[in-house]
Structures are given as C-alpha cells and as structure tokens.
Amino acid sequence: MQFAPFASDIDVAFFSSLAYHKINYDKLDSSARRVLGIYEIQPNDAPGNSCRMQIGGTALTADEPAVGQFRAEGIIRNFNTVEEFKKTNYAEIIQKSGRTIWEAIHDGSIYSIPSLLSSFTILSFANLKKYHFQYWCGFPALHSSPPWSVVGQRRQFSVEETSSLCDVVTTWRYSIDSRQRGFFLVKRVKSSIEDEDTVWKLAPLGDYERGFFNDVEDKKKDAFVAFADPSNFEEHPGWPLRNLLYLIRKRWKLQEVNIIGYRDVHALRHQPRSVIWTLKDDSPPDLSDLSIKDAPLPKITGWERNREKKLAPRMADLSQIMDPTRLADSAVDLNNRLMKWRIAPNLDLDKIKGTKCLLLGAGTLGAYVSRILLGWGVHKITLIDNATVSYSNPVRQPLFKFEDCLNGGQPKAIKAAEALKEIYPSVDAQGFKMMVPMAGHPIRDEAHGEQMKADYDKLVSLIQEHDAIFLLMDTRESRWLPTLLGKFYGKIVLNAALGFDTFVVMRHGVRPELETEDEGEAVDDKKPQVTEPVSELGCYFCNDVVAPADSIKDQTLDQMCTVTRPGIAAIASALLVELFVSILQHPQVASAPAPASPDEDRGSHPLGTVPHQIRGFLFNFQNKLIHAPGYIYCSACSNKMLSAFDDGGWEFVKKAMNEPGFIEEVSGLAEVQKAAAAIDDELDWSEDDNGDGDGEML
C-alpha cells in the first residue's frame, strides 16, 4: 500500500506572524515553538491538491481548530543564521520527531493526544531584511515492517450507511476533545436485542483496550478503525494512516484490521466517499512487551520534497507582499473584493480607489468621513481646516488624541492627515491649514487680503486637482465658495450639515456635459462654458431667498460650539460616504437622476438608488429622501453666478466678501426680494374704518 504524503500549505500571514514573534519575543532564542497544523476533508480538491497540512496565520497562538477541521501537533524551530539552518542534521531531527510518536505509542500517552499521530516539524530561517524564508517541513512516519498488505478490493458503504454514520460522526465531534477527532473506533451493533436494525457506535482509540469491540459478533464485518482521511486518491490513503498502523500492530497486536479512510462531509453525506480497506499482517505475531528500554526504533522518514521533487528545503520570497504596509494593502483590498464574490459582482472598486477626495473641514464630520473613505479603499484624501485641536475634540473626533490638544493644539487638517497615515500607511493624505474665503466676511486689511488671495488660489487649485469635494464645515457661508467652484469645474460635490437631532446629507447637481459649436469637440475642463441648466439637482443654497452672510458675529457660546447629539455625525458621515460610492457606481456618475420615490427599483445598480438628499431625524429615528431641482436665482450654483465668477474670478469673490447685497444683485435674488415686497405692499391688511359695517360678520 502506498500513502499520499502531506503537502505543506503555509499561509503568507503565518510568515508575518513568525517574523513578528522573532522580532518582538524570541529575539536570539531559537528553541522550538509549538505550532498548530490543520488538515481537512476537501471533497472538491483534485487528488494532487489534497492531503494538505495547513499552517495558518494564527498557528503560533491558536489552540483549537474549527469543528470540521483536524488538528496536528507541530513544532517550529526558527534559526538565527542561515548557516545554522543549512548545517542542521536533518536525519537526526526527523528521528527525534518520530521517536516522540513512538514513545507515546509504547507508554500509552498516545490515547490522550492521538493528534500526535499526524505531527510535523518545521525548520526555518527568516531573512527579515529581504523577507526571504527558507523552510523544510517534516511529517514523521513510523514504518511498519513488513508492510501491511491489502486483502481483496477496497469497499464503500451504501448511501444509507454513509448517511447514518456521517450523522453519528458529526455529533461525536462536538462532544470530544479536538485532539481525538482525527482517529476513532467504529462498530456496527444491533440497536436492541429484539430489533435486527443496526446502529453505529464511535469511541476514541483508548477504548480499544477497554473492550469497545467485545460486543461485536462479527468483528471482520462490523469492527473498524477509522481515521480522517485528507487524501482524494481512490487507491491511496492519506499520510496519517502510517503511524496509526504502527500503533495497531505494536500496541494492539492485530494481524488483520478493517480500516475506514473517512472522507465524508455532512453536506454531501448522500454521496459516499469513505473507503474501507482490509489490511493483513503476514509476519509472525509480535509477542514482545511494550517496554521501550531495549526496543529498536523503527525506520522513520517524512521530509517533504520541494517543488522540484527533491529532498531539500523550500524558499518563500515574500519581499513584495511581506512588508507590513503591503500586507495592509492586501488586507484592505481583499476585504472589499470579497463583496464581488456574491453580493455585488459588478462593483467597480478600482474607480472608488482612484477617486481623489477633498474634504473641507477636518472636525467631527471630516474625521468620520475620512475613516469611512479608508474603509472603501480610497487612496487620495486631502483635508482643509483652519482650526487647531481643542480639548473637547478627541472624544467626538476619532482622528485626534489628548496629546494633540497640548501647547495650543495641533493644526487639525495636518494632524488628521498624519492620523490617517498611521491607520493606513499607503493612503496619500495631506492636510492644509488655511481659510476658505466666506461671503459676508469682509477683508480687514492689506495683509488679510493677501492671505485671503493666497488661500483662494490654493482652494481653486485643490478643487481642480480632486474629483469629489466634501463640504463638512461649521457655517453656511464657508460652504458658498466651494459650492460655486465645484459646480463651475464640474466636480462631484457632497454636503453634510448637522442640527441637534437632525441632519441633511446631499449631493449637488452638475451641469450637463457641454460641447462647442463643432459637434463632438469637448470644452476645456479648466474653464467650462456656462449654459442654461437642464433639470439639474439643487445645491445646499437653492432653497434660500437670501444670500449667505456672516453667521458667526454676535454668537453666544452654545451657538459657537457645534451642539449635536454625539452619534449624529457618525450617522451622517456614513450616509454621505455611501452616497458618494453609489454615485461612482452609477453609469451616469454625478449626473445620475434622483429616484422618483424611495421604493424605486434599483435596476442594475450594484448598490441601489442614488438619492438627491437624505434628511434624518433622530427624535423619531426616520430618514426621508428629498428631491429638489436647482433654483434659477441660487446664490451659489445658478448660471448667473457661474458667469459672473467666470468673468471676475478673485475680484468677484472679493466683492462677495466685502459688499453687502452684491450676491443678491448678481444672482437675481434682489429682484425676487423686491417683487415679494411689492406684492406685500399691494395687499391691504388694514381694517375698514367705516362704521357702517358695525355688527357685520367679516
């Protein structure tokens, strides 16, 4: 009989764990460490890929495998130098490992830890500068001499027998120590004296010497020794059987035995896969006692062959993926790509990853939004804020710590970018401490004017460089210029604003794609033409009939601080980022139409509909979807404002800051206000002074 040898299947994460333990714990200590190996019954594996010994990322620390897995007791010795590794006496190592099994069989301790029959040894050297790992796995096997011979043909149980046995095995695994699962005794007995029906009974190996088979009438037919067989070769059992056969011969003195190579899984219990072999020992009966004092050690082999089928160590070059930063990249990418397996196969993750995001505001909203963007794999995040971290910030703004508040506080935007890099080193995060020019906030002096001009130029440059703009500031007027610029340059603009227990999350409309008089010739992206809107979605200012003004002046303390329920920022931020991702997945991207109703079918969109506004109310825990068209006299996104900005640039912005009523005049809101006042004047609200109506009901 030939056996399918174990093949090592070492997870990349295991090497990472090995390197971590070497650097932080073992240091110069190269003594052996315990490692947990796992093998499984995998019906769908090709025979050549079966019988794998899995060494996972937690193998150095894990104690228990899952119920459907079988444990193997292993040790690893990680040498300090490559010379030590190469000069090791490999034959002596495998002999020592095999002797541990041999002694456990002879002294009976194997019954308390049968998983030792599948034990293994790993020798390794880790070059932690280059992330090159040399290793050699050995799976010690005690040779039975002479070898066992197969009697007759291999057999299988019927569907009914397999199904009932599978149920019993599955139940038994839950009740037994994990070290016992891989090897067990099986017998078929009558369910009762009167009843001819038979049932399966299972027991650990140690019960053999306690008379487990004594009540079996026909031992050649109904008594079996079983092992979890990871091999998918029809004629060749897996490696664990080798040491089990040595135990059967040496300890139980059996010369004929029925072996079950148990290969069934509960989900496929109606498709019999387990194999039964009857094995015979033709040598004279072994009458020696179990003392190991003078007993000769059997032949022991087991070193794994490398990929060239030679008895030599293997090399794992993990320089491209072993760096912790790259491991983080792989982990983040994997977590998102798992969505594509079943749930959202059409999800375009590369589009999300490549979208450059500009966050105006690095406070509570900015901190939460940036963290969730990281979760989606966004690689370019830029933050703008003029404030410093105060003592009240860290508890509500998850990118900051107490230390950031000391000595007057660190600049929020810069510190937030640093925190993002600490969380995810591969992110391209930048922070800028700067002001956003605000409507109604006049320039105080020449120096202030120069600073405002510099901040304006930087803001325009950043908006041009990014794809999506998030408005996350504290005041309405601070959102005015970014709203105008985002519309002018055709960017995705997203906005979130908070009340005490309410919030609004919305996307701004974009102008339709424009063409020059020569059909098909695209307009310069840097300076789009201004045309009449075509059913655009409104912006944050489209419902206003007054222009934004200085809302900070004369504020009381409760007005200066953002007074909201602590959880509302996280809720709004999550919805805003999910809205952003949904926009990117829509075929029309930022031009995606808003749904006519909340119940509108998602169609082929992988993430569902793309609403215009989400208004949330925590006092009754409800969200409402709002659809509002753009306003022709909007103070921020109307074509009149875009045209005026196109003509004036910084001079236009400066007038909006300095001159009260300027925005109303340009946008047309002044005329709307005058018309409303005129209508009001025409209405006669005075009471009739004529006494002729005395007693008349009006």
- SS3 for 372-386 is HHHHCCCCEEEEEEC
Please, what are the domains in the chain?
7-141+315-322 (3.40.140.70), 148-285 (3.40.140.100), 327-510+533-680 (3.40.50.720)
d(CA 433, CA 459): 11
- The answer to whether 277 and 263 are in contact (CB under 8 A) is no
The ranges of the chain with pLDDT < 70 are 193-195, 289-290, 292-293, 322-323, 327, 330-331, 334, 341-342, 513-535, 551-562, 601-604, 677-678, 680-698
| Structure token digits, residue 530 | 């201004």
Rg (CA), the chain: 38
Say how many CA atoms lie within 13 Å of 212 toward its Cβ: 20
Strand partners, 198: 190
- Cis geometry, peptide bond prior to residue 146 (ω within 30 degrees of 0): yes
| Paired tokens of 291 | 């003392």
Amino acid occupying residue 515: E
The predicted structure's pLDDT at residue 293: 65
What distance in Å separates the CA atoms of residue 574 and residue 567, rounded to the nearest whole number? 11
Asked whether the beta carbons of 313 and 339 are under 8 A apart, the reply is: no
Q: Each residue of 398-429: pLDDT tens digit?
A: 999 999 999 989 999 999 999 999 999 889 99
Q: What is the pLDDT of residue 532?
A: 39
Q: Is 51 considered catalytic here?
A: no
Tokens 């890929």 sit on residue: 49
Beta strands per DSSP E along 156-271: 183-190, 198-203, 223-228, 256-262
Q: 226: burial class by Cβ within 10 Å (0-12, 13-18, 19+)?
A: buried
**Distance from C-alpha of 21 to C-alpha of 15, rounded to nearest angstrom:** 10
CA distances from 560 to 412, 501, 522 (A): 18, 17, 46
Residue 579 in contact with residue 494, Cβ under 8 Å?
yes
Terminal-to-terminal C-alpha distance of the chain: 112
* Rounded CA separation 663/657 (Å): 9
Instruction: Please tell me the predicted confidence (pLDDT) of residue 197.
Output: 81
User: Which of 384, 404, 385, 386 shows the shortest CA–CA distance to 394?
Assistant: 404
Sheet containing 622-626: order of strands: 428-433, 380-385, 356-360, 468-471, 492-498, 502-507, 613-617, 622-626
- pLDDT computed for residue 263 by the predictor: 96
**Beta-strand relationship, 380-385 and 622-626:** unpaired
> Annotated catalytic residue: which of 51, 405, 542, 561?
561
User: Do 354 and 581 contact (CB within 8 A), yes or no?
Assistant: no
Q: What is the pTM of this model?
A: 0.57
